[in-house]
Chains A and B, each alone.
Chain A
Amino acid sequence: MRPDEVTRTALVTVIGAALVFIVQSLIYKYILVPTDVVVEVWIKERYAISAAIVFVVTVASQILWYYIATRYKGDEKEAESMRVPWLGLLILSLTSAVIGVYFAAYFSDGSSDPLKSGSSEAFVSLIVFFVIDVLILYWLATAISTPRGYLMYIVPGSLFLRRSLLRIR
């Protein structure tokens, strides 16, 4: 990967991390406060772990895609078919979001401590937040930072984002 591509993906990842670990926590703490849990405990015991799962899996998917794109040895004929592994990694990231939502909203560890239970009230917002996180950390990052080569515009919307919006190659 070229320095500009590394810079872009690092920037998006930092923004994504800030969103996942700071902004969304603050939103739950002050704006969308769940009433069925003790919010500070829930954020610490449930949300932070869910967010970490989503973040790690999504960033790992992102890195794996960059690895695939860097190692790609085909040409135009096979490039189209490379959407399949990209979509596979997107599904993996979304699966981590589903797991994250389940863990933060419903998962019970069997203890009867109500302070440590999930927040079903946050279910919808968790879905929205985690899907946005996946879109930023995986789709946006790969759309604007896939290494220059046959796969650079394989990510949906990447041609528009790179050429028209950001005016980058």
Chain B
Amino acid sequence: MSLYIIAVGGTGAKFVEAVAHVAAAGLLTEETIRVLFVDPDEANGNLDRARKTLATYKDCYNLLTKDQKGDAKECSWMQTPIELFNPDVWSPIGSRNNRTLSSLFNYGNYQPDSSLRNLFNVLYTDRERETSLDMGFRGRPAIGSAVMSKLDLDQNALEHEPWLTLFSQIKADVGAAGRDTRIFLCGSAFGGTGASGFPTIGRLIANQLKKEGFRKNVKLGGALLLPYFEFSVPPDFNAGDEIYARPEQFLLNTEAALRYYRTQAGGTFDTIYLLGNQDLSPVKKFSLGRGEQRNEPHFIELYAALAVQHFLSHIPTQAGEAVVISRGDPRRITWEDIPGSDVRQKMANSTRFAFAWTTDIVNTLRQAQQAFEQFPTVAPWSIEFFKHRQGRSDLPEFQQEFNKISVITTWCESYLRWLGNLHTSTGTSLQVQLFNRDAFLDGNGQLSTNSANFFKLVSGDSAMANEDDTIPRLKEQLIKSGSSVIKSPNEGVVGLARALYVLSNL
């Protein structure tokens, strides 16, 4: 199965971050996921973080699968190749800087007092017309819709890169390979880029697929995120001539967007997931856009990523089928509220591994670097994975493997930070009780070094809180079973990490 993800706007970028972490836990597909970002603000902080997350994921994935890809049934970690298109970001306003609504629509060429000019003046204020779109559509769907409508009218809008590659790849998947091919879009219904881009790009893709003659062979789905955060504009904020997103308009924007989708976007998507939260989470820092627009991960994005899991496995049985999910208690989110039978087990597995690796294994391996020949005396598991004069000579040299440790560590830290932030994203009115955040992140958001918290990581099941469930016991199992815990690749740092991952499963 081939999956293409089109991430629209900042929310789309945050969704991709969640997809990368959920994919790492083995919850999506073993086939390649290809990702394209759609954002006029290429310097957007959310986009930057999503790119970094994907880069970290790819480094780790490439390391783990460099020589051989392990059996997914045995170890579900990092089974999904994730590729970015080139260029990875497509901007609906083109590549030139300092584009404005006026320049895009050649407003300056309209005759004075022409009906077109007057209409433009009615729809957009001077500031909206002249504000630079380099920082996106400023949370204004009206601006975004104008830009996107222009695309809609352009018959050749998708006939350049990276769309050409995307469609030729889809053609190859559907045609010669006969693969089940799916496209999934994600964006917000209340911002600028997402609200305007989601339906338009969805329609453009659907039209292109029709034109190419394989619309019926491709499932088109999407997650539309309803308002789930808000922010306060600081009273001393001096916007000057700038325009910016106004949270008080989010609900209004959403209402209008949903009405539009209902009447205008019908038939474009095979499946749509609408996700929202009645308690809007406070965004810590207000920003206009660019690098400062870096909102913390939110649990809604986890749901959006899990919607991909549902989309991949679910075939709608009837038109207009509604899939409903809600949480049991308005004040908390527990594992009972998470869809998918294997989500808890696989995410717990990833979390326990990442925690064990960062709080214990890395430090132990660093100590081993000083005198590896003596190390197996106290850490007998090490001789199972690395070459030693008393052990197997066909294993990799420890010193030559050392730089691989940091690749895995970087992924573990990225995952744990993302997971921790999901738990603090909701403010005080709603508690996310999936993992015990305090067990792996301190109050300042720094990763915990207290490996004794291992047994406390997963929330919601007192039976799991077993004090014998410790990292030393995990390593003891590693000593007892050695590299035979897993089949190949089971040597060196990769083998050690994979074996530990398997043993970290609850």
Contacts and interface: CB of A to CB of B under 8 A. Distances in A.
B400 interface: no
A169 B388 CA distance: 14
A79 B390 contact: no
B380 A152 contact: yes
B480 A153 contact: no
Contacts of A79: 377-379
A160 B472 CA distance: 24
B479 interface: yes
Interface in B209-264: none
Given A74-B472, A163-B390, A80 B378 contact: yes
Interface centre among A74, A76, A148, A153 (most CB of B within 10 A): A76
B364 A76 contact: yes
Nearest to A79: B378
Max count, chain A CB within 10 A of own CB: residue among B378, B383, B388, B390: B378
B471 interface: yes
A109 B216 CA distance: 104
A160 B374 CA distance: 12
A154 B378 contact: yes
Interface string A73-85: 1111001100000
Main secondary structure of the interface of A (DSSP, over half): loop
A88 interface: no
A109 to B, nearest CB: 46
Contacts of A159: 376-377, 383, 390
Nearest to B481: A148
B475 interface: yes
A153 B377 CA distance: 5
A80 to B, nearest CB: 5
A19 B377 CA distance: 30
Given A75-B475, A164-B390, A148 B378 contact: no
Interface string A102-138: 0000000000000000000000000000000000000
Contacts of B364: 76
B56 to A, nearest CB: 28
B482 interface: yes
B471 A160 contact: no
A160 B480 CA distance: 18
B378 A152 contact: no
B161 interface: no
Contacts of A150: 378-380, 472, 475-476, 479
A153 B475 contact: no
Contacts of A164: 390
Interface in A140-169: 148-150, 152-154, 159-160, 163-164, 169
A148 B475 contact: no
B266 interface: no
B391 interface: yes
Given A160-B390, A163-B383, A163-B391, A76 B378 contact: yes
B377 A154 contact: yes
Nearest to A158: B377
Contact of A153 (B380, B472, B476): B380
A94 B377 CA distance: 24
Nearest to B377: A153
B454 to A, nearest CB: 12
A163 B384 CA distance: 11
Nearest to A81: B378
A148 B472 contact: no
Nearest to A148: B480
Interface string A58-85: 0000000000000001111001100000
A169 B383 CA distance: 10
B482 A153 contact: no
A100 B101 CA distance: 102
A145 B322 CA distance: 63
A152 B480 CA distance: 10
Contacts of A75: 360, 471-472, 475
A24 B471 CA distance: 48
Nearest to A169: B482
A152 B479 contact: yes
A148 B124 CA distance: 75
User: Which of B471, B475, B479 has the most chain A CB atoms inside 10 A of its CB?
Assistant: B479
Given A150-B379, A154-B377, A163-B391, 18 more contacts: A75-B475, A76-B378, A80-B377, A148-B380, A148-B480, A150-B378, A150-B472, A150-B475, A150-B479, A153-B376, A153-B377, A153-B380, A159-B376, A159-B377, A159-B383, A160-B390, A163-B388, A164-B390
Interface of A: 73-76, 79-80, 148-150, 152-154, 159-160, 163-164, 169
27 contacts: A73-B472, A75-B471, A75-B472, A76-B379, A79-B377, A79-B379, A148-B380, A148-B479, A148-B480, A149-B380, A149-B476, A149-B479, A149-B480, A150-B378, A150-B379, A150-B479, A153-B377, A153-B380, A154-B377, A154-B378, A159-B376, A159-B390, A160-B390, A163-B383, A163-B388, A163-B391, A169-B482
Which 3 interchain pairs have the tightest Cβ spacing?
A75-B472, A79-B378, A163-B390
